[in-house]
Amino acid sequence: MLRIHNSLAREKQAFTPIEPGKVRMYVCGLTVYDYFHIGNARTLTVFDMVYRWLRAAGYDVKYVRNITDVDDKIIERANRNGETIETLTTRMIDAMHEDCDRLLMLRPSAEPRATQHIDDMLGLIGDLEKNGRAYPAANGDVYYAVREFPGYGKLSGKSIDDLRAGERVAVDGHKRDPLDFVLWKAAKPHEPHWCSCYGEGRPGWHIECSAMSRAELGDTLDIHGGGWDLQFPHHENEIAQSEGASGKPFVNYWMHAAFLNMDNEKMSKSLGNVFTTREVLNKLDAVQGGEAVRFFLLRGHYRSEINYTWDLLQEARGALVSLYTALRDVPPAVSAADYRIDWADPHARRFHDAMSDDFNTAMAFAVLFDLRGEIHRHRSPAHAALLRALGGTLGFLQADPAAFVQGAAQASEAAEIEALIAARVQAKKARDFAEADRIRDEIKARGVILEDGAGGTTWRKA
Ligand code: AMP
Ligand code: ZN
């Protein structure tokens, strides 16, 4: 039985989907004005892991992750670059897909864009107005009246009065209450805008997710995810909008991923301590980099903060290489296509239990390392097949092990190293041990580690 920590209930709960065997999952996606950073990558990768595990557990999952393709930051960046919003967002969406692919993420079932759902948003705003929860103001904006929604604050665990005191929201003459938030913004000159019964304007950010989740998945979702920071105000406002319009529960399980910090400080654009995912990937070995970053991002539990440093990333890469080394040394008994996991196997069972306990990847990874130990101890192809398959449920260990362990050494470099190894063998045969040692040092200086085994000498990048 899968148990999920529900941020709304503040506890782990048994997971029961609305429709047996099916999961409707929505995750807040990116605002596409720039390349995404390694902190965004954590949240995206966590929900890719959740998606993969739900599928491995036998669910038919519809996974929707939106794209915010109109907002202040996009407008400002497009103006600064002297390009249209469309050109900027198209380029950034392509880059997002490239980077997500490099991190071995599956594409969501749908990636709705805000600009393609303006009518759905206006429809929802209309429903809220009918229910007395939205009001047009004199300045042409339309606001949500938070005091008209009795459950406001239930996700963040605060009353409206606490929130008012805590947030120090600026008083705005057009709002009835300082916490009221904008659903529709009146058009400003030189900004993109759409026609509506409220006049020309563009949607607020929060309404996007309520409208697109309704369009794609219906009024009630099984799982809604996002980064921890989105609980307030974004998700609180989504609840107010969706439940305020439909009168039905919006989300059964709220999941929030903890942050990635940079040298123990929050990574964010405003602090200026941001590394884009592509910057990080480009500094790593081209063959190992994507999977190594994925491994680094998932090896802690998703509700624990993780710290990004170059050393920790390299350590994660080394750990992943060690799993691949086991698969290279003892090839799995059966091809991946013909293999089915026997969940009654004790290792498989432990892996399953860990993942069923609120997606505990830290514990699940420990099982992978135990299997690596078994493979080395018993040279067991059956354990190797299980390791590859369990890793595969989370998007790992599907590359060719020998090629992965070797890394992206260019074919020419590989040939040079092979030639040096052959020369060393010759030197040894000729009992010229000084020469053999000299060659060994030369190979080492290239960042290559030699492993002398029964079947000859193999090598890998350090
Ligand atoms: P944004 O583009 O800022 O709206 O963020 C997109 C997603 O990335 C949201 O789900 C955020 O919660 C998440 N996010 C932003 N910064 C971080 C971080 N440092 N660590 C983890 N997730 C983050
Ligand atoms: Zn959202």
Q: What's residue 173's pLDDT?
A: 80
Q: What's residue 175's pLDDT?
A: 93
**What is the rounded average pLDDT for all residues in the chain?**
94
Classify the phi-psi angles of 157: left when phi > 0, otherwise alpha if psi is within -120 to 50, otherwise beta. left
Same domain, residue pair 173 and 212: yes
The answer to whether residue 297 is domain-embedded is: no
**267: Cβ below 6 Å to ligand 1?**
yes
The answer to whether residue 215 is domain-embedded is: yes
Q: How far is CA 225 from the centre of its chain?
A: 10
Q: How confident is the model at residue 167 (pLDDT cuts 50, 70, 90)?
A: low
The answer to whether residue 284 is domain-embedded is: no
**35: Cβ below 6 Å to ligand 1?**
no
The answer to whether residue 281 is domain-embedded is: no
pLDDT digits (tens, 9 = 90+) for 286-306: 999 999 999 999 999 999 999
Q: Which atom of ligand 1 is nearest to the CA of 260?
A: 20
**Distance from the alpha carbon of residue 310 to the mean position of ligand 2, in angstroms:** 31
Beta-strand (E) ranges in 291-411?
306-308
Same domain, residue pair 327 and 422: no
Same domain, residue pair 198 and 132: yes
The DSSP annotation for 61-91 comes to: EEEEE-BB--SHHHHHHHHHHTS-HHHHHHH
Same domain, residue pair 193 and 318: no
The answer to whether residue 337 is domain-embedded is: yes
Same domain, residue pair 454 and 372: no
- Find the angle CA(32)-CA(127)-CA(125) to the nearest 5 degrees: 30
Q: Which atom of ligand 1 is nearest to the CA of 227?
A: 12
Into how many domains does the chain fold? 3
Domain end position, chosen among 222, 238, 260: 260
Domain end position, chosen among 404, 420, 444: 404
Q: What's residue 237's pLDDT?
A: 98
**308: Cβ below 6 Å to ligand 1?**
no
Q: How confident is the model at residue 124 (pLDDT cuts 50, 70, 90)?
A: very high
Same domain, residue pair 394 and 443: no
Same domain, residue pair 140 and 180: yes
**Distance from the alpha carbon of residue 76 to the mean position of ligand 1, in angstroms:** 20
**Least distant ligand from the CA of 271:** 1
pTM: 0.89
Q: How confident is the model at residue 443 (pLDDT cuts 50, 70, 90)?
A: confident
CATH of the domain at 156: 3.40.50.620
CA atoms of 386 and 378, how far apart (whole Å): 14
pLDDT digits (tens, 9 = 90+) for 385-425: 999 999 999 999 999 999 999 898 655 577 788 888 888 98
Same domain, residue pair 24 and 115: yes
CA atoms of 256 and 142, how far apart (whole Å): 29
Same domain, residue pair 332 and 451: no
For residue 318 the two structure tokens come to: 């080394």
pLDDT digits (tens, 9 = 90+) for 242-298: 999 999 999 999 999 999 998 778 777 777 789 999 999 999 999 999 999 999 999
CA atoms of 268 and 274, how far apart (whole Å): 6
The answer to whether residue 12 is domain-embedded is: no
Instruction: Output 308-317 pairs: Cβ under 8 A, ≥24 positions apart.
Output: 308/38, 308/39, 308/260, 308/261, 308/262, 308/263, 308/267, 308/275, 309/263, 313/280, 313/284, 316/292, 317/284, 317/285, 317/288, 317/289, 317/292
Tell me the backbone φ, ψ of residue 183, rounded to 5 degrees. -100, -35
**Least distant ligand from the CA of 39:** 1
Same domain, residue pair 338 and 426: no
Range of weakest confidence among 142-146, 174-178, 385-389, 409-413? 409-413
pLDDT at 312 over 80: yes
The answer to whether residue 300 is domain-embedded is: no
**42: Cβ below 6 Å to ligand 1?**
yes
Domain coverage including residue 212: 19-260
Q: Which atom of ligand 1 is nearest to the CA of 43?
A: 22
Look at residue 228 and give its three-state secondary structure.
helix
Q: What's residue 409's pLDDT?
A: 60
- b/e per residue, 300-334, with b = 16+ CB within 10 A? bbbbeebebeeeebeebbebbbebbbbbbbbebee
CATH of the domain at 381: 1.20.120.640
Q: What's residue 169's pLDDT?
A: 59
**Least distant ligand from the CA of 228:** 1
Largest CA distance in the chain: 93
Domain end position, chosen among 404, 421, 442: 404
**108: Cβ below 6 Å to ligand 1?**
no
The answer to whether residue 271 is domain-embedded is: no
Q: What's residue 411's pLDDT?
A: 53
Same domain, residue pair 452 and 352: no
CA–CA distances in Å: residue 80 to residues 76, 83, 183, 222: 6, 8, 26, 40
Same domain, residue pair 367 and 432: no
